[in-house]
Chains A and B, each alone.
Chain A
Amino acid sequence: MFPPTCLVAMLCATSGLVVQAMSDLNSLVLQAGRFAAHQTAPQTLAPELTLFRIIGGSGKGEATVMRSGTDIQQWTLEYQVDWPAGPPPPTALASSQSVSIPCSGGMFQDMQWSPFPVFDAKSIQWVWLAVSLDDAIAQLNNLGYTRGFSSLTVFRPLHPRYPDECTYVFKCPLDHLFVGISAQTGKKLWTEAFPY
């Protein structure tokens, strides 16, 4: 006979594993795209936006260490701005080369325009993340980086030193390492130390 206590314990363990799973980051990108289209629609010449980075933080500063997907409460999606050909738009935004969209506590906020271009990354405008954030974090832990991360960036590195893959990059302050995990296979791609 199957002991009910064991069943309960197993259910609790199962719940513990999945209770913190978060929604698909692909849908975050889609929702951000809808928001961006809404924000740029009133402009006479709407720019073309290309997603380059997704950055996640706790919203409580770099000192806060996170351990699960739902610890990330502040998302920022960084886009390259391409203005349509022809005369420059007659607005102060005309010199903008990038724009970021914050999403805090699940709510998208006004776009932040910047005159600086995005750098060191390739477009992730048309990608799909096969490995969920929670699975990537589980893999990070499996690799021994169990002391948490202070930020997460999803991007495709431009530098030839790194493989050209859409990558979850975890900043692990207690290990003094950036850890790159493939968003397609979940495998570790690289690590890189950062200064003390």
Chain B
Amino acid sequence: MNPIKWLVPIACVSTSLLAQTASDLNTLVSAAAHYVTEGVAGAHDPAVLALSKIVGNNNSQEYLMSKSTDVTHWTFLYSVSNPKTEDGSGEAQPKPHLSAQAECTKGVFNNFRYSDKPIKNVKSLEYTWVGVSLDNAILNLNANGYIRGFSSVTLQRPDLVNWPDDYVYVFTCPWERREVAISCQTGALTWTYGF
């Protein structure tokens, strides 16, 4: 058998894998912070935002995602503290904001808005670093047998009893009916949860 015939598809597959690697999510987080603090929120509001959760999906497309660049829609959820109202030195506000969110659709940040609903059961992600890239996390998801795609991915630190305090990617795998958590620092499977 001619080995060259083997090499061509190998090269094609390798190239296609590498060509679609997404940029480092840390830079996405930094860009989002720049957008919310200097672009829309910081200029006119004393509220302090702390990143709590990052949710990625494919903007309601019907197909499941299998690689990082399939994730074209990101939502950043922030908890909000209102220092002027909390210490009593500022003007009272009728209803302080408890959370805020911003979106990033196909790389464009938009749709910043406040909400009165708190973000529950997670710890802050404000000063953290993602050690394992999204592409590598997906490879580990596949290596653990979850190969039929995911409908969303959430980066979070669970704040629940019996849940490890690890910064994790949580993939929603509808075919397996499981949420699968991959560590952002080691790439190891941390936990799974049925739904």
Binding site for B on A (CB under 8 A): 2, 6-7, 10-11, 14-15, 18-24, 27-28, 30-32, 34-35, 38, 69-70, 73, 75, 103, 105-108
Residue from A2, A11, A24, A34 within 8 A of B127 (CB atoms): A34
Q: Closest CB-CB distance, B137 to chain A, in whole Å?
A: 9
Judged by DSSP, the binding face of B is helix
Binding site for A on B (CB under 8 A): 5-6, 9-10, 13-14, 17, 24-27, 29-30, 33, 127-133, 135-136, 139-140, 142-143, 157, 166-167, 184-187
- A24 and B26 contacting across the interface, CB-CB below 8 Å: yes
Roughly how many angstroms separate A14 CA and B12 CA in the complex, as a whole number? 12
Roughly how many angstroms separate A143 CA and B116 CA in the complex, as a whole number? 58
- B33 and A34 contacting across the interface, CB-CB below 8 Å: yes
Q: Closest CB-CB distance, A23 to chain B, in whole Å?
A: 5
Residue from B24, B136, B166 within 8 A of A20 (CB atoms): B136
What chain B residues lie within 8 Å of A73 (beta carbons)?
185-186
Roughly how many angstroms separate A20 CA and B136 CA in the complex, as a whole number? 7
Total contacts A to B, CB within 8 angstroms?
A: 94
27 CB contacts below 8 A, A to B, read: A6-B6, A7-B9, A10-B10, A11-B13, A14-B13, A14-B17, A15-B143, A18-B135, A21-B133, A22-B132, A22-B133, A27-B27, A27-B129, A30-B27, A30-B30, A31-B26, A31-B129, A32-B129, A34-B30, A69-B131, A70-B132, A73-B186, A105-B167, A106-B128, A106-B129, A107-B127, A108-B128
- A106 and B131 contacting across the interface, CB-CB below 8 Å: yes
- A23 and B24 contacting across the interface, CB-CB below 8 Å: yes
